[in-house]
Each structure stands twice: as structure tokens, then as C-alpha cells.
Amino acid sequence: MSILKKLFTAVKGGVNEVGEGIVDANAIRIFEQEIRDAQNALSEAKRSLTEVMAKEIQTSRAIKALEDDIDKHETYATQALDKDEESLALEIAGKIAEFEQEKSEQQQILSTFTANVSKLKEQIKQAEKTIVENQRQLSMVKTTESVQKATMAVNDTMTSGDSAMASAKQSLERIKQRQMDRQDQLDAAQQLADESNDKSLHDKMREAGIGEDASKGADILARIRAKQNK
């Protein structure tokens, strides 16, 4: 069963009561130890891989040298035949047979090394995958634990705090009220600023004899005169 499924079952089943972990601490420690062991095994495997690869290269080099020897001796044998040195040619051919025997032995060793290398590479890949996967699962378990503990801490705080008993709706109303109050204050401050701007402008206009206020007195007088004249 995957860790996530286990966690789900545990959470659903209400295992997470105060003081009771979803996965016991001992199991986490064992899991962590397993990951460390796997990491050690992995670095061990990587070391052997480099050793085997080194041997693979050495063997290829030996085979190359043998091939060179064979080529060289074939030339010698041809030369011996050219000079009608039949028995010498035969001796050289015997040497070539030895080289070829050795070469085929080395080739067998090489193919073993090559097979080993690809097997080790596959194992390393697999181990790395397992480690990453285990770490991911461990992190899920640990996060669940942390959240659980944090929730306990939060619950303690909330039940002793002022906002403990408020419902979400009441909380929302309070926040909205606060946001509105703040906006009203801003609006009021803006209005005040606007008004004082207006006032100083009006003062200046009056001084300059511009605008409604300046003409008011004259207007009223004109109105009174108009009435008298009727």
C-alpha cells in the first residue's frame, strides 16, 4: 500500500488524536535508516562500477595489442613464405594461433565485464529511483506529522484566543467592516483635503474679486433697486 493511501486511511480513521502519531516515530527512524543504507549501497555500487569499467578498458586495450601482434606476425609469415622459409612460416603461424587463442580468451573476459557494467548501471538507476521515491514518501509522512503538531499548537492558541468562538461568517463580517471603516477613513481624509483645497481657492478668488461671492453684494443691491423701481 502506498504511503499516501496509508495516510489517507489513517486520517479518515481518526487515528490522529492528540499525542498519537499517524506513523509511529520508530517506523520513521527505521525508514530513514533504510534510506541511508540504500544510499551507502548506492555509493558502493558506483565504486565497483568504476572498477569494472577500468578493467573493461584495460581488457579492450589488451585485445587491441593482440590484434596488432597478429597483424605483425601475419606480415612476418608472408615474408617467410616469400623467402621459401616454410618451417619458419609454420613456426610464425603457430605464434599467431597462440595470439588468437589469447585474444578469444580476452574477448570472453571483456564480454563478461561489459555485461557487468550494464547490469551495475541498471542496478544503480534502480537504486537511485527507489531512494528518491522513499525520500518523497518520507517527506509526505513527516509533513503530515508537522501539520498535525502545528494544528495542535494552533488549536491550543485558538481556544485560548479572543477569536476562538467566532464563526467564519462573523469573522468575515468583522473583516469587511474593518475594510469599510478603513475605506471610509480614507474617503473622509480625502474629502477634508479636497475641501481645504477648495477653501483656499475660494479665498484667493474672493481677494481677486472673482466668482459668486464677490458679485453677491452687488447682485443683491441690484435686486433691491429693481424692486424699488417697480
Partner 1 sequence: MELNELSIKLSQYETEGASFESFFINNVGQEVLQVIVDGNDELPIFVTRTEEQVLCICYLFTEQEINADKHAELNDTLLRLNVPMPLSAFAKIDNKYAIFGALSTSSTLEQLGHEIVTLSANSIDALDAISDYLTE
Residues found near partner 1 in the complex (CB under 8 A)? 16, 139, 142-143, 146-147, 149-154, 156-158, 162-163, 166-172, 174-176, 178
User: What are the CA-CA distances from residue 36 to residues 117, 126, 225 (Å)?
Assistant: 24, 15, 108
CB-nearer residue toward partner 1: 153 or 201 = 153
Locate cell 522513499: which residue? 134
| Burial zone of 141 (CB within 10 Å; 0-12 exposed, 13-18 middle, 19+ buried) | buried
Residue 215 CA to residue 204 CA, distance in Å, equals: 15
Which residues touch 110 (CB under 8 Å, ≥6 apart)? 56, 59, 60, 63
CB-nearer residue toward partner 1: 27 or 97 = 27
Q: How far is the CB of 112 from partner 1 (least distance, A)?
A: 43
CB-nearer residue toward partner 1: 68 or 133 = 133
CB-nearer residue toward partner 1: 75 or 170 = 170
CB-nearer residue toward partner 1: 28 or 205 = 28
Question: Alpha-carbon dihedral of residues 56, 57, 63, 64, nearest 10 degrees?
Answer: 160
Q: How far is the CB of 174 from partner 1 (least distance, A)?
A: 5
Q: How far is the CB of 34 from partner 1 (least distance, A)?
A: 17
Locate cell 461671492: which residue? 213
Q: How far is the CB of 128 from partner 1 (least distance, A)?
A: 18
Q: How far is the CB of 145 from partner 1 (least distance, A)?
A: 8
